[in-house]
Amino acid sequence: MAEMDDFALTGLPPAAQQYMRRLANRNERVEMQLKALYKRCMQLAQAHADDQVVLKELRSAYKKAAERIRYIEDIPGKRIPYFLGFSIEIPGLTQPSTTVRGARLPDTKQVSQDGPFVCTTYMSAFLLKTFSIGPYDTPSPGRPNDPPAGSEVITPLSGRWRPVASTADPFAGAYIGAQVGPFSVAGAQAVQTFRPGIIDFLFEIQDESVDRLRQNQIPIPSRYLMTEFDRPLYLPVSDFYERSSAITFSATLTRDLGFAEVNYAALPNGFAEGNQNPPPDPSQASPANNAGRAVVALGGTLYFTMVGYKILQAQSPAV
């Protein structure tokens, strides 16, 4: 190229040749600058195209976020009523020194995979059971053949549903302890107290999956479950639990259930109330030895139910 330039410049005055060479060098530099500028423009164009792709993705993400489920009512799926139940066994006392007062008794249930659970109401009830206090000889004639202490026995109190707060069931006339009142209807009516087998406790609800409590550090009194006679506790808002959530209900008993003295009799044709053997201690009111009393320890099963509904066939996760 230089030889061709020299050939082209042959015959020109030296000053003209020098000027032409400087002009060629400048054109070469301009050409290089234009190439570099073109390359940079192409890079900017590519970056702009990439930005358009990013902006498109951002717009798509924003649209999805705007369409995302915000309320429980927006979750797709079929609604069906659902009762999530918890149960805690309350044992009868086996020794004079034993107590369940202050004991924290938990039960954990898991939400199934077929859909999230929405709770709207708390309900609770206590199924009463009676337990033997063991054989004894005194006072005479005693009950030397009774089963060991802590063994469940069937009495007229067994299997009865009882309230979960003592304020819900006051009434006049009930034997709640051993040898309380005379063996007569008038004697029973003279006792002003509560029916036996009522349980009082403090409870807590926790979603173990997200480590979230449904209360602060102060447990909830069972009295709130009985704001009126047999009235459930309605939640201020629906409580949502995602599928596979582990929910723990914990009850802390505020007192022992204690004991009760049950009256029962042997009936004609071999019928009897409960399975108490031997027959109860004789009394002056039952010279034929076919009626009497037995002292039993009280316990049972505490049921707590979260009432609400399941959302079937919901997308995962639901929110």
Tokens representing residue 104 in the block: 């924290």
CA gap 184, 205 in Å, rounded: 45
Residue 223 and residue 308 in one domain: yes
Residue 238 and residue 108 in one domain: yes
* Distances in whole angstroms, Cα of residue 155 to Cα of each of 36, 144, 193, 280: 101, 18, 21, 12
Residue 42 and residue 158 in one domain: no
SS3 assignment for 242-272? CCCCEEEEEEEECCCCCEEEEEEEECHHHCE
Residue 35 and residue 125 in one domain: no
Residue 62 and residue 94 in one domain: no
* DSSP at 195: P
Residue 167 and residue 208 in one domain: yes
- Residue 155 belongs to some domain of the structure: yes
Domain finish residue from 67, 99, 123:
67
Domain finish residue from 67, 98, 118:
67
The domain total for the chain is: 2
- Global pTM value: 0.69
Q: Locate tokens 């609604």: which residue?
A: 79
CA gap 305, 245 in Å, rounded: 16
- Residue 73 belongs to some domain of the structure: no
Count of CB atoms situated within 10 Å of the CB of 30:
10
Domain that holds residue 42: 2-67
Residue 52 and residue 89 in one domain: no
Instruction: Find the DSSP H helices in the chain.
Output: 2-9, 14-67, 185-189
Residue 223 and residue 251 in one domain: yes
CA gap 66, 149 in Å, rounded: 65
CA gap 33, 170 in Å, rounded: 100
pLDDT one digit per residue (tens) for the chain, 319 residues: 444 455 566 677 878 778 888 888 888 888 888 888 888 888 888 888 888 888 888 888 777 766 666 788 878 888 999 999 999 999 888 788 888 899 999 999 999 988 899 999 999 999 999 998 888 877 666 777 788 888 888 888 889 888 888 876 655 444 455 555 555 555 555 555 566 778 889 999 999 888 788 898 899 998 888 755 667 889 999 999 998 899 999 999 998 888 888 876 767 777 766 665 545 554 444 555 566 677 889 999 999 999 999 999 755 665 5
Count of CB atoms situated within 10 Å of the CB of 119:
21
Residue 95 and residue 244 in one domain: yes
Residue 42 and residue 166 in one domain: no
Domain finish residue from 16, 46, 67:
67
Residue 31 and residue 133 in one domain: no
Residue 273 Cα to chain centre, angstroms: 39
Residue 56 and residue 84 in one domain: no
- Residue 319 belongs to some domain of the structure: no
Give the SS3 label for residue 29. helix
